[in-house]
Structure 1
Amino acid sequence: MTAPELMSIGAFAKLAELTASALRFYGDAGLLRPEQVDPSTGYRLYTESQLARAAQLRRLREIGMPLPVIGTFFAAGPDEAVQLIDDQVAKVTTEAAGVRQAAAVLKASLGEEPRRAICALPGPVLAAAVDQVVATTVHHPDVPALSGVRLEADPGSVTLTATDRYRLTTRTLVPMHPPAGTWAGTLAGDDLQSLTSRLRRSRTVTIEAGERALGLRLADGTVLHCRLLTEAFPDHHLLVNSLPEVTHRVTIGKQQTVRVLEQQAPERVGLRVSAGRSSLLLPDGDGVALDGAATGPDLTLWFELTTLYPALSHALGSDVMLDLRGPDQPATVRSADDGDLTTLVMPCRSADL
């Protein structure tokens, strides 16, 4: 009779969420050998203690880790194992970006989709703008457009906008030549992010609009492709136009403020306005006076570090302006230098503190 602590390959496969054939494969590969093999029947028997390794093996295969690397993973210490996972994720991410770009090129080649030149921008400036706004995108299964970047061109400017419903970031660029008419579309944020290194190395980038994809023509004639999303982008113009009046205006130095946040790294940080000056408040009660000026009556707002820091660290130039509307209204973080960057950030509710 089989010992009580041993189970058949079928029973173990069900608990491990693997197939019996997969267990045989992994056993023959030396990654998950059975606890015992019945010498007379050849039946493979497993114990409950092997389920944890089986679960790790299943998840490692889900992220596409090759079998030899999995063998190294099981023999590694915690730090090396974590690095192997990170390396695999980076590899898969790079491959996925290449697949998306190849798919975009294939789609654009179908019937040689006609494209209309919209405008030209300096490549390094466009790449930096993508970095500044794409951090505000988010993958949401119910709202696919939140993973996109809205591009709007008119005769005076080119604007990139992204939102995750908690933040709204808008970067306005000054084109090298006025855009030919108006154009608007939602670009796949992942595609844009994967192209930034090549955009940054091109002196100019000409934006060409098609029906299914946006073409980004580099100075050497190479055309990169970015998918256009078909889902409706949130009406950010309505949101901005419906904001209450500004009650306080704070001007601070970017470098000093960012340095304090990086050194202290609090979970939440307060912004206090008092007597025409502003300061940062930390949860332990310490305050740091900020260079600059402030208008409006005494007010204290609290922000999540993960919300406020990106808005400040991506700011343009050396000065940042904050338009405040009260403790329960979005604050606008503004900066300007060859165009402007605007980010809406929500303060914490008092109940969250």
Structure 2
Amino acid sequence: MSDAELMSIGSFAQRCGLTASALRFYADSRSLLPAEVDPVTGYRFYREDQLVRAVLLRQLREIGMSLPAVKSTLDADVVDTIRSVDDHVTTVMREAESVRQQAAAITSTLNGRSGRQIARLSGPVLASAIEQVLTATVDDPDIAVLGGVHVEAGPEVLTVTASDRYRLSTRTLVSHVDSAAAWTATVNGDDLRQCLGDLRRTSSVNVDVTDHGMTLRLTDRDDRHCRFVSESFPDYRSMLDSLPAVTSRIEVPTAALLLALEQRSSDRVRLCSNDKGLMVHGDLLPDIQIPARVNGCAVDVWFEMTTLYPAISTAIGAEVLLDFRGPEQPATVRSADRGDLTTLVMPIAAPRDTTTTGRTP
């Protein structure tokens, strides 16, 4: 091999993003050996085709993979390499969650307060409620509160609410604590999401709060600690109170409406009412007529699929009740026979290319 085909350790380091000292370390550990070593000067030289291995080595170390794991990963095929990276990420996330839980427990102890109980509920019921309203959260770094769940407690009641500005989902649960004083805070949505698995598998949960966070005390399982979000949650109750009157009410089978939405391939959907029920329109696909009970004015409203579908899919019961207030006002989605879960869904403006049949070219 000619000298022109080799790179000095300094040039190679600059190309792969590692320092010269790191390259010497990886050579000594036999993770990345130089192509040649000058027997007189001891200078190390590398080939162009070693860059791929060097860059991958650097990337694996940057995500915290141990050197032994890196060495075995570098020598594996693509499938095993991907599996090793995925396994490493899973381990890191599990360890990080364990550390966060331990830190929350330490903080709670250092706070010097035992906390006060605001609710006692069935674990699966609370998990279901949290999961339902979490569909209305959004990860917005500029508005962190939109990723949280607003929790309100009082005598024999616990309400969880979330909003991403286009949806608002709220559910009220019966609590078995009749002496709880009024309490409210917004809880980190990711923390609650991490608790769902344990909540589903515990018969009951006591909800305790301090100034720093909320603790879910689970039967036969470790406590789960959730942080508060410091930003104020939107005044959604005033918004609900100021909504215009309902002009149309449609009661439709939940499964039939979900199936019609799932058959749409477009990112927007149009709902119209007629004398036979509810019509679901979609781009370039046949319209779907669903038998429904319709009261009030005719409906002709457009929604984003990503906004409407989660509201329908989380609805409770065999039939869903849709309350409309016009094409520019929030529509209400709730169970026809149970009112403890309510979701508001914002419509969108009708596309300009809409034809009289409801299809778009």
Q: State the TM bucket, normalised to the shorter chain.
A: 0.7 to 0.9
Q: CA deviation at 1:108?
A: 0.8
Q: Contact conserved, 2:264 with 2:283, CA < 8 A, in 1?
A: no
**Which residue type is aligned with residue 272 of structure 1?**
L
Change (3 A) 1:46 1:109: same
| Secondary structure of the structure 1 residue equivalent to 2:284 | coil
In 2, Cα distance between equivalents of 1:38 and 1:343: 72
2:191 partner letter:
D
Report the counterpart of residue 227 of structure 2 in structure 1: 227
Q: Flag the 1:203–1:22 CA change in 2: closer, same or farther, 3 A.
A: same
Question: TM-score, normalised to structure 2's length?
Answer: 0.82
1:295-337: per-residue Cα shift (whole Å, max 9, x none)?
A: 4324141423x33332222221222223334444443322377
Q: 1:298 to 1:170 in 2, by over 3 A?
A: closer
Q: How many residues align?
A: 351
Letter in 2 for 1:297: A
Q: How does 1:206-245 map to 2 (within 5 A)?
A: 206-220=206-220, 223-245=223-245
Consecutive unaligned residues of structure 1, counting only runs of 5 or more, are: none
Whole-angstrom CA distance in 2 between matches of 1:336 and 1:53: 60
Kept after mapping to 2: 8 A contact 1:119/1:179: no
- 1:43 counterpart residue number: 43
Is the contact between residue 206 and residue 217 of structure 1 (CA under 8 Å) also seen in structure 2? yes
- The one-letter code sitting in structure 2 at the alignment partner of 1:341 is L
Matched residue of 2:294: which SS? strand
Task: Tell me the residue number matched to 2:300.
Answer: 299
Identity %: 45
Q: Determine the C-alpha separation between the residues in 1 that align with 2:292 and 2:212.
A: 47
SS class of match (1:198) = helix
User: Aligned AA for 2:209?
Assistant: A
Distance 2:123 2:207 in 1: 11
Equivalence map 1:84-123=2 (5 Å): 84-123=84-123
Aligned to 2:356: none
Q: Deviations over 1:89-116 (max 9, x none)?
A: 3322222221111111111111532311
- Alignment TM-score, normalising by the size of structure 1: 0.83
Q: Is residue 124–residue 202 contact of structure 1 (8 Å, CA) maintained in 2?
A: yes
User: After superposition, what is the alpha-carbon deviation per residue over 1:237-290, rounded to whole angstroms, capped at 9, x for unaligned?
Assistant: 34444544444333222223334444x362424232131421332322222222
Structure 1 residues 334 and 179: alpha-carbon distance in aligned structure 2, compared to 1, 3 A threshold: farther
Using the alignment, how far apart are the partners of 1:34 and 1:275 within structure 2?
Answer: 76
Rounded Cα–Cα distance in structure 1 between residues aligned with 2:347 and 2:53: 44
Q: Distance between the aligned counterparts of 1:122 and 1:337, measured in 2? A: 21
Please state how far the C-alpha of 1:79 moved relative to its aligned partner. Answer: 4.6
Corresponding residue for residue 139 of structure 1: 139
- For 1:103 and 1:309, locate their aligned partners in 2 and report how far apart those are by CA, in whole Å: 38
Q: C-alpha separation between the residues in 2 aligned to 1:120 and 1:261? A: 37
Change (3 A) 1:222 1:298: closer
Partners of 1:68 and 1:235 lie apart in 2 by 54
The answer for the alignment partner of 2:273 in structure 1 is 274
Q: Offset at 1:348?
A: 4.5
For the pair 1:162 / 2:162, whether they are aligned, the reply is: yes
| Aligned: 1:128 with 2:128 | yes
| Contact 1:269/1:280 (8 A) holds in 2 | no
**Quick one: which amino acid aligns to residue 108 of structure 1?**
S
Is contact 2:191–2:226 with CA below 8 Å preserved after alignment? Answer: yes
Aligned to 2:323: 323
Whether the 8 Å contact between 1:151 and 1:186 is mirrored in structure 2 is: yes
Change (3 A) 1:329 1:111: closer
Greater displacement, 70-79 / 195-204: 70-79
Show the counterpart of 2:205. 205
How far apart, CA to CA, are the structure 2 residues paired with 1:341 and 1:95? 35
Post-superposition shift, 1:125?
Answer: 0.4
Q: 1:65 aligns to what? A: 65
The one-letter amino acid paired with 1:270 is V
Alpha-carbon distance between aligned partners in 2 of 1:137 and 1:113, rounded to the nearest angstrom: 31
Q: Deviations over 1:5-57 (max 9, x none)?
A: 64433344344343333333444445444454444433333456555544444
Q: Check conservation: 1:271, 1:278, Cα contact below 8 A.
A: no
Report if aligned partners of 1:148, 1:229 keep a CA contact under 8 Å in 2: yes
Q: d(CA) in 1 for partners of 2:82 and 2:308?
A: 29
Structure 2 alignment gaps of length 5 or more: 354-359
The CA distance in 1 between the partners of 2:36 and 2:241, in whole Å, is: 70
